[in-house]
Chain A
């Protein structure tokens, strides 16, 4: 019972890292970026290449996946995305879906269509018993990393100067510019940061979720569920949503395997009926 709860939390945490970047671009920058999964996949492949081809330790791969994906995100933002900030949501969706398909084909071309596997350092594999509860070491590691990230993100957004600039830029772009905030720089940095988080999620998820060229398509639905149930205006909303979905998914598959896969969708529908704009909606702000 507790093991299931633990697995659910780990799964939810993973979903959260993967999806929270999307919360940032979608909620704060008001940009519908369906290509989010492509950045996650990039992070995963960076890890696979570094570990399997160059034998670099897994611990170095995680920050590398974050930084490199963030760099890719920054380049794409400067060259492509920024032209679409003012475009309609439909244009943004079409554009980012195009990116998804290109990334799928590119990954297939360069890395092949097979599942990529990584071998974790021994201290992260296997499981241990704590007070009679079986705990997977890697899942524990995931939980710790994600918990730290959640706290950091919340602090950055609510306590730092950058956070307040970002919120100002989102709320009213023109006034923010008038106040001397370099809005396009703030957006570029935020976008890169969100992409980097996706990359980190992809790197950490390679072990549990697997990694193949269809990753962005396979997980797009999960990201969108997390973001739509959680709402896009806070970090804690998607976090709770991810937790809830992770636990419900794992528990559903354990207790009622016959209908297990449907549990999270049912949950999503119920949540959206009760709170159409997410768990912690900011109200009709825009």
Chain B
């Protein structure tokens, strides 16, 4: 109750500030809230590094305003995210929020964004429903339906008949399972079994054995990136590849950040995703170079490019509004924006405020002694199928 009133008051002040030309600020503050510590720290590390790389490459002024990036750590805990978002909006008068390392974290910020009319750019979380949570949310990562569906298309077109799905048992996992299955079965494939793995799962042995005994042509996997690497090893150890079972997955499993340490077992894995460090374009080359230089050789992964593009989006929108960062105007400017990201051409769907982008099919290969996701097929300009269907 008290909180609601405070927020209401805050938004009132903000709205007033927006109407008074005398209060026009020369600084645009962006509050980037990320899990910088805790189990999802690698997400925070990558996203913040991506956002900083953008500012290093493009400078910190846009449309005559100075951009100030404030990074805060929510440790991956949703109520902290919400508290920090309120603090940033009320005390620091932040004009644009960004972050959302995980679905629940992004969801926690949604009411703050709505009530204070502050735009929120989601940099990482991948559940389709997030952009529906508030009028003021837009996204620069991608959605799980968006990059699970093409994997289904590819599998059906490439002689795979029978698949077992194996996903983490939470929102994004269920999204991935649903859209892969839907696409794959509509193209004539058969999903003989759907295995769901608890999020906190120490040992994959029983699940993998189940997959093996079902004797499918391939297993479709979605797991959050850290767990994915463990899975990969056990997949190889259990001899599923020798048993003729192909591994197809979303790109989270072959996360570029840790792909190299997975070693040989990862070779040949087919994944679908929106970004690979090895993506061949001049924009990406420049990005990877700048990123690795600034971060001690760390490889930029798909999380980092979400961070990079969140800044690209904010800059482009500010250009369009001539530096006005007030919520409604900013969101109007965001709709339909398009730019060339390191991942390829992207745009923001004017109807759903979600990102439209290419999804690439990639295979893990050795390039110059390092493991990389090498792209071999492109599904151009895909929208989020979940929201496209709802219409």
Q: Interface of A with B (CB < 8 Å)?
A: 3-4, 7, 10-11, 52, 105, 108, 112-115, 117, 119, 125-127, 134, 136-139, 207-210, 212-214, 218-219, 222, 249-254, 257-258, 260-261
Closest residue of chain B to A217, judged by CB?
A: B39
Q: A7-B206, A7-B209, A254-B206 are in contact. Are A115 and B236 (CB under 8 A)?
A: no
B39 engages A209 (CB within 8 Å)? no
Nearest Cβ in chain B — how far from A133, in angstroms?
12
Contact B239 A127 (CB under 8 A): yes
A210, B206: Cβ atoms closer than 8 Å: no
Q: Which of B40, B45, B210, B212 has the most CB of A within 10 A?
A: B210
| A113-B41 contact, Cβ under 8 Å, with A125-B237, A208-B203, A209-B202 | yes
Contact partners of B233 in chain A: CB under 8 A: 117, 207
User: How many residues on the B side are at the interface (Cβ–Cβ under 8 A)?
Assistant: 35
Chain B nearest CB from A162 CB (Å) reads 33
Cβ of B203 and Cβ of A218 under 8 Å apart? no
Chain-A contact segment, one of B57-65, B175-183, B258-266, B353-361: B258-266
- Contact indicator B209/A3 (Cβ below 8 Å): yes
Query: A126–B237 contact, CB under 8 A?
Result: yes
* Chain A residues with CB under 8 A of B234: 208
Q: Which residues of B19-43 are within 8 A (CB) of A? A: 37-42
Complex CA–CA separation, A105 to B37 (angstroms): 8
Partner of A115, one of B200, B206, B207, B230: B230
Cβ 8 A contact of A126, one of B37, B239, B261, B262 = B239
Q: Can you name 17 A-B residue pairings with CB atoms under 8 Å?
A: A4-B209, A7-B203, A7-B209, A11-B203, A105-B37, A112-B42, A115-B226, A115-B227, A115-B229, A117-B230, A136-B205, A209-B202, A210-B202, A210-B230, A222-B202, A257-B207, A260-B198
For residue A126, which residues in chain B have a CB less than 8 angstroms away from its CB?
236-237, 239
Determine the chain A residues whose CB is within 8 A of the CB of B41 once the complex forms.
108, 112-114
CB distance from A265 to the nearest CB of B (A): 12
Distance to closest chain B CB from A49 (angstroms): 13
Closest CB in chain B relative to A111 CB, distance in Å = 11
> Residue B384 at the A interface, CB < 8 A?
no
| B contacts, CB < 8 Å to A | 37-42, 45, 195-196, 198, 200-203, 205-207, 209-210, 212, 226-227, 229-230, 233-234, 236-239, 257-258, 261-263
- Besides A7-B209, A126-B239, A260-B198, 7 other A-B contacts (C-beta < 8 A): A113-B40, A115-B229, A117-B262, A136-B237, A208-B202, A208-B234, A257-B195
Are B206 and A251 in contact (CB-based, < 8 A)?
yes
Residue ID in chain A nearest B232 by CB atoms: A117
A97 vs B340: C-alpha distance when bound (angstroms): 49
State A222–B40 Cα separation when bound (angstroms). Answer: 22
Cβ–Cβ contact A114 & B258, under 8 A: yes
Cβ of A114 and Cβ of B42 under 8 Å apart? yes
Q: Is the CB of B239 within 8 A of A113?
A: no
Q: Kindly state the separation between the CA atoms of A244 and B202 in the bound complex, as whole angstroms.
A: 17
The CA of A25 and the CA of B2, in the complex, are separated in Å by 49
Q: Is the CB of A250 within 8 A of B42?
A: no
Q: Which residues from A are CB-within-8-Å of B257?
A: 114
Chain A contacts for B239, CB-based, 8 A: 126-127, 134
Nearest B residue (CB) for A214: B39
Closest to B260 in A: A117
Q: Is the CB of A113 within 8 A of B38?
A: yes
CB distance from A8 to the nearest CB of B (A): 8
